Amino acid sequence: MTPDRPRRIRVIGIGAGHPDQVTVEAVEALRSVDFFVTADKGGDDPLLAARQALLARHLDVVPPVVAVRDPERDRSASSTADAAGYDRVVVDWHDARAAAYEQAILEHEGDTGFLVWGDPAFYDSTIRIVEKVLARGRVDAEWDVIPGISSLQMLAARHRIVLHEIGQPILVTTGRRLREAVEAGADNVLVMLNARLDLDGLDDWQIWWGANLGTADEALVAGRVGDVLPTVLAARDEAKARAGWVMDAYLLRRS
């Protein structure tokens, strides 16, 4: 860390999985920090290994990667049955993460990098957690956000589609809230964060689905939901078995 300026925290979007899709700006940001902070979900965490491989691909000398054990999150049905309960659980989890990340930052000198899959603007908690860290008052730092290529962009590119019809909107939501979007009349829905795929009753919709986009374990399926859903489910299970994790996204369009 240069002594004549405050330390920096850099939230860096690293793309959907392929190291060649890290932007030039992101590579420069990777090279500017003194250590990285990342969540360690325990065991043989494949996402931690993937982050380290990406750093090795772009950096001649890889700074320390400080793996912080991820706090336990309450996933019980009683706590997350409704939207208010789910929000409380997530806020508590973010608070615990902020405390753990704050400690890691204070224990190391220099500028900090956070590596974010895809783009930090899409259903990722890192920006909110950095705000919480700074609000606690013990870390004095400037901070910025470096955008990345999102899985939504990758999904469109891989399927060679435009994500909306001419002049029409897109709704981006989570698997948890897909039903709410359909019942509200949305016709063109991008879905992320899928614990499972619940597409019952949507047989006549069109789907463009992708998992682990940009990686060696990428899987793609497209077609009428009623025709291709078994193929999607099988491909999802296979991608998870090969990689040890699965991140999928899909576009649903009402026929």
Whether pLDDT at 114 is above 80? yes
Class of the CATH-defined domain 7-146: alpha beta
The ranges assigned to domains in the chain are: 7-146, 151-253
Model pLDDT, residue 5: 67
Bridge partners for 143 per DSSP: 9
| Three-class SS state of 182 | helix
Mean pLDDT, residues 42-53 taken together: 78
**CA angle, 154 then 98 then 151, to 5°:** 5
Mean pLDDT, residues 129-157 taken together: 96
Instruction: Please give the Cα distance from 71 to 40 (Å, whole number).
Output: 9
Chain centroid, CA 92 distance in Å: 19
More confident site: 15 or 72: 15
Which residue reads 């220099």 in tokens? 110
Model pLDDT, residue 70: 86
Question: What are phi and psi for residue 206, nearest 5 degrees?
Answer: -95, 145
Model pLDDT, residue 3: 52
Residues 136, 98 contacting (CB under 8 angstroms): yes
Question: What are phi and psi for residue 48, nearest 5 degrees?
Answer: -65, -45
pTM for the whole structure: 0.89
**In CATH, what is the architecture of 151-253?**
2-Layer Sandwich (3.30)
Instruction: Please give the Cα distance from 252 to 225 (Å, whole number).
Output: 9
Residues 22, 14 contacting (CB under 8 angstroms): yes
Whether pLDDT at 2 is above 60? no
Judge if 7-146 and 151-253 fold alike in CATH terms: no
Average pLDDT, the chain: 92
Instruction: Please give the Cα distance from 4 to 197 (Å, whole number).
Output: 52
